[in-house]
Chains A and B, each alone.
Chain A
Amino acid sequence: MSRKTLTRRQFVAATAMSSAALITAPYVRGAYAAGKLSIGFWDHWVPGANDASTALVKEWGEKEKVEVSIDYITSNNKKIELTAAAEAQAKSGHDILQMPSWWPHAYSENLEPLNDVMEPLIKQNGEVNDTVKYLGRSGGKWLAVPATPGSQIKGPCSRIDLMKKHAGIDVQEMYPAGGPPKADNWTMETFLKAAEACHKAGFPFGIGLGETTDSVDTAGAIFQSFGAELVNAKGDITVKTDAVRQALEFYKKLIAVLPTDAPSWDDASNNKWLISGRGAMILNPPSAWAVAKRDAPQVAEQCWTHGFPSGPKGRFAPFLPYFWGVWAFGKNKEAAKSLLVHLSSPAAIEKFVAASGGYDLPAYANMTKFKTWAEEGPPKGTLFHYPDPYKQQTMSIAASPAPPKIAQQIYFQATLTKMALRFAQGEKLETALAWAEGECEGFMRT
C-alpha cells in the first residue's frame, strides 16, 4: 500500500485554498446565496397593510438573493414585548425585530449599532424629530431605525358637527385641508371650554384616564404643554414644581367633564366612544375613524383629525414611533441592515403609508406630504393635518425628557394619569405630588 506524504508547503497551500473557498462561498450568486434572514414585524391592524411589508421584503430578497422569513407578531397583550424579552434572554431569535417606542433603550446592550444605516437615511429622507432621537439613539449610537408601519401621532380626532354646534369651533376652518393651520386660538384654555360645553350637551370628550398608552400619551402631551416634567433630562426628580401643579389643576378641571368610567379605559375605549357617536372628540390616530368608515359611516364623515391645542410652553403632539432593531447576536446583520435601508427608501415609505390608509407615519421631515393624507376621506382631507405637514407641533412622548430607562417606568406605571386622577378624586395636591415623588424615586433603580 503506497502512502503519499504531505509536505508542509502543500498543507499550507491546501488550507489557504479551503479557507478562501469557505469565506467566498456565501457571495457566489445562486438562489439564496446570501444566506437567510428572519424578521419579526408588528402585525398591522389595517387589513392588507402587512401585504406592503411582505411585497417589499420579497422584492429585496429576490434582488439580494437572501431567503427571508417573516413573522407578523400582534401587539395585543404585549406579544411583541414578550417576544423581545424572550429573544434578548435567549440571545437567539429573529435577525430584525420591530419593537415599540421604549424598547431600543431597554435592550440597548443587545442591539447592533445602526449609525451606518441611519446617517445616510437622514441625508436621504430628512431629519428625524427629537422624540425619535430620544428613543432611538443612545450616546451618539443609533440603536434602531424608525419604522413607518405602526408609528403614529395621537392627536385630536374631532366631530365636525358636534364641535361646531356645542363648542362653536369649526375644526375644518381651523385646520383646512391643503392649507396651513389657523390655530393660534386653539389653546388648552379653548380646549377645556370646548370639553365643558360638549359635556354639558351630552357629548363628552373621550379621553382615557387608565394605565394604557392612549391615556398616558394624552397626559404626557398636556403636561409637556405646561412645561411639567416629573424627572428632568439629567435624572433629577422635579415633581414638586409650579409647572406640575399647573398641569394638575388643568387636569382636574378636565377630568370633571370626562366620562365617569374614563379611569378604566383601555386603548379601545376611546375608539368605541367616537364610533358610537357619543363623543365630540378623542385623542387618537385615525384608527377610530377608519373603523367608523366601515361600521358607522355617518360618524366617519363627520371626523376631522387635526393638531393638539397649545399650552403655555408650546404645542406638543404625542408621537409614538415603532423601531426596527437588529439584534447584536443576529446571524445575518449585514443583510438586515441592507433590508432596513430598502424599507426606509422614500418609495417604500410611500407604499407603507398608502397601504395603511394614512395611519402609518414616517419619522422623517421630508415625508409628511404624501397624497394619501390629502386624498383620504370621507370627508376628503380629513387626514391632511395628521402628519403635521406644517411642523406646528413638537413631537413628544410622555415622561420625556427623563433618561429613557427612568421614563419608561413613569410611562408604563402611568404615573401621570394616576397622579392626575388622585388629585381629581379628592386627594390633596401636595399628597398627590408626594406620592408621585416616591414613585419616581423607585424608578431610579439601576
Chain B
Amino acid sequence: MADVVVEQGRLARAASPRKRASLRHAMGRKSTVAFFLTLPLILLIALLVLYPAFYSVYLATLNKAMTKFVGLSNFTFLFKRETFWMVVRQSCIFAITAVVFKALIGFIVAHFVHNIPGKKQRKWRGMLLVPWVIPPAMSTLAWLWLFDPSYSAFNYTLSFFGIGPIPWLGDTFWARFSVILVNVWYGAPFFLIMYLAALKSVPDQLYEAAAIDGANWWQKIWHITLPMMRNIIAITTLFSLIVTFANFDIVRILTSGGPLDRTHLFATWAFQVGIQSSDIPLGACVSLFMVPILAVAAVFILRDVNKRGNEA
C-alpha cells in the first residue's frame, strides 16, 4: 500500500508542472483569449436573450392565472382561435411583402448610388440612410400625421387631383398598405447599404469582360451582379425577415392592430393578449409561435449560403 501511495505522490508531483504548462499553453492560445474577450458579451446575451427566451417558454406552459403547469394546452387553445390564424396569415403577408419591396427598392437605389461619382455619393448615402437612423417610434408618429384623413398632407395633395379623402388607417386594405409602406420606408436603407457594399466588392474586370463579350445591362445584372451578391442578398433577407416578422412599433403606433384586427402581427397581438388582457401565458405563446416559422426560414437560407460557401 505504502508503495502505491508514494508512487501516486510522485506521479502527482510530476503531473503538476505539466498541468501548469498546458494551462499556460491554453491561455496563450488565440482561441482561448478570444473566448475570454467575448465572455462578457456571451454573459450579456445569456442574461438578456437566453434567460428571457427560456422564461417565456416556461410562462407559455402555465395556465392563465399562472398557478399551474398546463403543458402545451395554451398552444392547442391558440390553434382553435380564428384570430390567431388571421394573425399568422397577416404576419406572413406583412413580412414577405415588406421584405420583397425593401429588397427591390434597396437593389435599385444601390445601383443608382453606385453610379454616382466620388464625393456626391457620400452625400447621397448619408441622406438615404436617414429613415433607418431615425428611431422608428418617432418617424412613425410623423407618418401617423401624414395618414390623418382630415388634415394630412397626403389627402390634401390628393384632393387637388379629385382623389380621396382616403381613410388610410380606417379601411382594412389601406391600413395594411400603410403599415407595409412605413416598414418599407424604414427598412429599405438597410438593404441599400448592404447591397451597395456588395456591389463595390464585385470586380470591375468581370463587367469589362462581359462588355467585350457584348453583354447588355440586364445580362450583366443577371449573370454577374446577382450571382456575386447572392450570399449578401440571402443574409440580408433573412435578417430583415426576422426583424420584420417581429415588428411591433409601426403597427402599434399606426393602427394598434385595427381595424377589426386586420393589421395585427405576432408582437402586437401578443402584447394585446398578454399585457392588456392580463393573459401573460397566452401572450408568451403567441410570441413564441414566431420561432418555428423563422427557424424554418433561417435553416433554408443559411443552408443555401453554406452550400455556396463550400462550392466556392
Measuring CB to CB, which residues of chain A are less than 8 angstroms from any residue of chain B?
A: 77-78, 81-82, 85, 89, 102-103, 106-107, 109, 209-212, 259-266, 276, 278, 405, 408-409, 412-414, 418, 421-422, 435, 438-439, 442, 445-446
Cα(A405)–Cα(B276), bound, Å: 12
Cα separation A198 to B170 with both chains bound (whole Å): 21
Q: Bound state CA distance, A400 and B147, in angstroms? A: 35
Q: Which of B67, B171, B256, B282 contacts A212 (CB 8 A)?
A: B256
A77 to B276 CA separation, bound complex (whole angstroms): 10
Question: Are A409 and B256 neighbours in the complex by a CB distance under 8 Å?
Answer: no
Q: Give A442 to B85 CA distance when docked, in angstroms.
A: 14
Interface residue count for B (Cβ, 8 Å)? 36
Residue pair B170, A262 in contact (C-beta under 8 Å) = yes
Interchain CB contact (< 8 A) of A439 among B83, B167, B280: B83
Contact A264 B170 (CB under 8 A): yes
Q: Is the CB of A81 within 8 A of B275?
A: yes
Is B260 part of the contact surface with A, judged by Cβ < 8 Å?
yes
B residues less than 8 Å from A261 (CB atoms): 149-150, 167-170
Q: Which residue of A lies closest to B74 (CB)?
A: A445
Given A264-B169, A264-B170, answer yes or no on A78-B257 (Cβ-Cβ < 8 Å). Answer: no
CB pair B65–A109 under 8 Å, yes or no, is: yes
Question: Interface of chain B, helix or strand or loop or mixed?
Answer: loop
Instruction: Name the B residues within 8 Å of A418 (CB-CB).
Output: 260-261
Q: Are B150 and A421 in contact (CB under 8 A)?
A: no
CB pair A264–B275 under 8 Å, yes or no, is no
Q: B204 interface residue, CB < 8 Å from A?
A: no
User: What residues on A are CB-neighbors of B272 within 8 Å?
Assistant: 211, 412-413
- What separation, in Å, do the CA atoms of A442 and B282 have in the docked complex? 11
A445 to B77, CA, bound (A): 9
Which residues of A are found within 8 Å of B271, using beta-carbon distances?
78
B247 within 8 A of A: no
Q: Does B131 contact A (CB under 8 A)?
A: no
The reply to whether B82 and A85 form a contact with Cβ atoms under 8 Å apart is: no
In angstroms, Cα B243 to Cα A426, docked, is 36
Q: Does B63 contact A (CB under 8 A)?
A: yes
Given A260-B149, A262-B170: A409 touches B259 (CB 8 Å cut-off): no
Docked-complex contact B64 and A82, CB < 8 angstroms: no
Q: Which one of A264, A276, A442 contacts B259 once the chains associate, using CB atoms below 8 Å?
A: A264
- Contact between B257 and A82 (Cβ–Cβ < 8 Å)? no
Listed by A's residue number, 27 A-B pairs whose Cβ atoms lie within 8 Å are A78-B275, A78-B276, A85-B280, A102-B278, A109-B65, A109-B67, A210-B258, A211-B257, A211-B261, A212-B256, A259-B149, A260-B149, A261-B167, A263-B167, A263-B170, A263-B260, A266-B256, A278-B150, A409-B277, A412-B272, A412-B276, A413-B277, A421-B260, A445-B77, A445-B282, A446-B64, A446-B65
Cβ–Cβ < 8 Å partners of B277 in chain A = 408-409, 412-413
Question: In the complex, what distance in Å separates the CA atom of A106 from the CA atom of B23?
Answer: 56
What are the nearest 5 A-B pairs in CB distance?
A261-B170, A263-B259, A264-B169, A106-B278, A264-B170
Cβ B259 vs Cβ A210 within 8 A: yes
Cβ < 8 Å to A, chain B residues 145-182: 149-151, 165, 167-171, 175
